[in-house]
Structure 1
Amino acid sequence: MSRKVIQSDRLRDQVYRLLREDLFSGVIPAGSRLVELELAERYGVSRTPVREALFQLAREGLLEQSERGYSLIADTPQDFLQRMGVRLLLDPPLAEHAARFGTEEQLDSLEAVFGRMKKAAEQSKFIAFVAAAHEFRTLLLEMCHNTPLAKVCAVLEDQFLLVRNEYYRDESNRAISIERDGQLVDAIKARDSKAAARAAKDYVETLIDRYSPEAKRGKARAKPDNTA
């Protein structure tokens, strides 16, 4: 269902917010080309505020600009592993801070959001799962109560979110997320900061192992030869 802009804030700002939400919700797949005319029709505005919103998103590193216009970033396998390497440094302290400093209200919210993730996964509802997963990560950032850490993680989150949406299209990846994030929620609820840090570290290492070139070569060798 298309959404129309309400004439209140500047059109550029409204289009920017709506487009950003659509990007992060997984509605637009990574690598897609964004056409000004199509987006203008989608949001019920002229092409000018769309062009301004696209320019802003490109400045933030969420879009790539070329002679043909703008497109969503599509990570190479090396890009993905490099981002995972950075997350391996940031996610454990983020989880540790969330366990130590998250309020009881935030803990309840995190558990409720994780419940929505599980339900969406069980019902194979991709869009609902992506939305809940994004909210889950946003809550973790808020729960750490460490402004510099949250800001650095938020930048990486924006850069990685579009690619993670594609990763979540695979049902087995959603299952891994439920298992690992469930361990993280349990540790945070117990206020066990060390266990929370380990859970976050183990999750990222699982992704690195799953998508490393060595793992992919191993999978390729394991495939049966049906040519005989």
Structure 2
Amino acid sequence: MGRPVRTQLLGDQIVTLLRNQIIHGEIPQGSRIVEGEIAERYDVSRGPVRDAFARLLSEGLLEKKRQGCVVRGVSEKDVWDIYEVRVLFEESAVSHVISHLDTTDWTGMEQSIEGMHKALESGDLNQYALEDLNFHDALILCSHNARIIGFWSTIMPIFSVMLQVTNAQDSDLTPSFDDHVAILESLKSGENVDVKSLINRHLEGSLNRMIRALQSSSR
């Protein structure tokens, strides 16, 4: 028999809250984090908190030590490693799309660009970050590589929070929006080398902003 749906939803909510707090630095690296204290803070049983801790351990944001779970956080090396993997995923997706232009479904990327445009006009940074991530998610889904899609799904939640951090540093997100439009246009034109260079430049900018944010928070 499966667990109650409510318990599963609570675990999702708690892992989202804790992931945000860890990546934003609200729970400092090296802090001990205790199931009972988290359960009491959010007025839930330990079950969903245990589920949340398991997710965060698998994402590398927590680590188990003799005294219990400790916040590992995100280091500069982690950011470099994660972005390196992301570039490989997206380049693979690009190669597939370029080879299958006639059968590629552009709907996801087109809807994300429309969503980014609306968020840009309203100044909603969090919604922009969500639509930004949805664009890249739609691109990776177009790889039709089950392994890449599966691995991407495990790091996608981390990128969701990272985008909130990096976008918050930009006084003007128009260049970011223009990058996405250019990437989609290049994809549709079938210019493999061009779109890969655009993605590399775009992701390098995001990587550098995340590194600056980490360096700033450590001062």
Using the size of structure 2 for normalisation, the TM-score is 0.69
- 2:144 match: secondary structure: coil
Is the 2:104–2:142 contact (alpha carbons within 8 Å) kept by the matching residues of 1? no
**TM-superposed deviation, 1:125:** 0.4
**Counterpart Cα distance in 2 of 1:153 and 1:48:** 29
TM-fit CA distance, 1:29:
6.0
- The residue aligned with 2:46 is 48
Q: Could you tell me how far apart the structure 1 residues matched to 2:5 and 2:206 are?
A: 41
* Distance across 2 between alignment mates of 1:36 and 1:188: 47
Q: Is the 8 A contact 1:75 1:163 kept in 2?
A: no
Summarize deviations over 1:34-53 as a string: whole Å, max 9, x none: 8333333xxxxx23233223
**Quick one: structure 1 residues 10 and 54, their matched pair in 2 at CA, closer, same or farther if it must change by over 3 Å?**
same
Greater mean alpha carbon deviation, residues 155-164 or residues 180-189: 155-164
Alpha-carbon distance change, 74 to 133 in structure 1, aligned in 2, over 3 angstroms: farther
Does 2:166 match 1:167? Answer: yes
CA distance in 1, matches of 2:152, 2:101: 16
Residue segments in structure 2 that go unaligned for 5+ positions in a row:
28-32
Contact kept? 2:183, 2:195, Cα under 8 Å: yes
Cα distance in 2 for residues equivalent to 1:187 and 1:23: 38
CA contact (8 A) 2:23 2:74 kept: no
Residue-by-residue CA offset, 1:109-153 (whole Å, 9 max, x unaligned):
311111111221232102211221232222122111112232333
Partner of 1:131: 130
The 8 Å contact of residues 59 and 154 in structure 2, kept in 1 or not, is answered as: no
- Answering whether residue 186 of structure 2 is matched by residue 154 of structure 1, we say no
How many residues are matched?
Answer: 200
Taking a change above 3 Å as real, the CA distance of residues 97 and 37 of structure 1, as seen in their structure-2 partners, is farther
The answer for the alignment partner of 2:25 in structure 1 is 31
Q: Relative contact order (C-alpha < 8 Å, sep 6+): which is higher?
A: 1
Q: Cα RMSD between the aligned structures?
A: 3.6
Change (3 A) 1:37 1:121: farther
The 3 A distance-change label for structure 1 pair 194 and 180 is same
Distance change in 2, residues 1:147/1:87 (3 Å): same
Contact 2:96/2:143 (8 A) holds in 1? yes
Q: Report the equivalent of 2:4.
A: 9
Contact preservation (8 Å) 1:114, 1:182: yes
Superposed displacement of residue 105, structure 1: 7.6
What CA distance in whole angstroms lies between the structure 1 residues aligned with 2:41 and 2:101? 42
- One of 13, 19, 30 as aligned partner of 1:18: 13
**Matched ranges for 1:66-215 at <5 A:** 74-101=73-100, 106-172=105-171, 174-207=173-206
Equivalent residues of 1:62, 1:158 under 8 A apart: no
Q: Deviations over 1:131-190 (max 9, x none)?
A: 212322221221111122323333343443332321121234744431222211112233
The answer (yes or no) to whether the contact 2:91–2:196 under 8 Å persists in 1 is yes
Q: Secondary structure at the match of 1:137?
A: helix
Q: Residue type of the partner of 1:162? A: V
Q: Which residue of 2 aligns with 1:225?
A: none
Change in 2 beyond 3 A, CA 1:75/1:63: closer
Please report the TM-score for the alignment, with normalisation by the length of structure 1. Answer: 0.67
- Letter aligned with residue 165 of structure 2: E
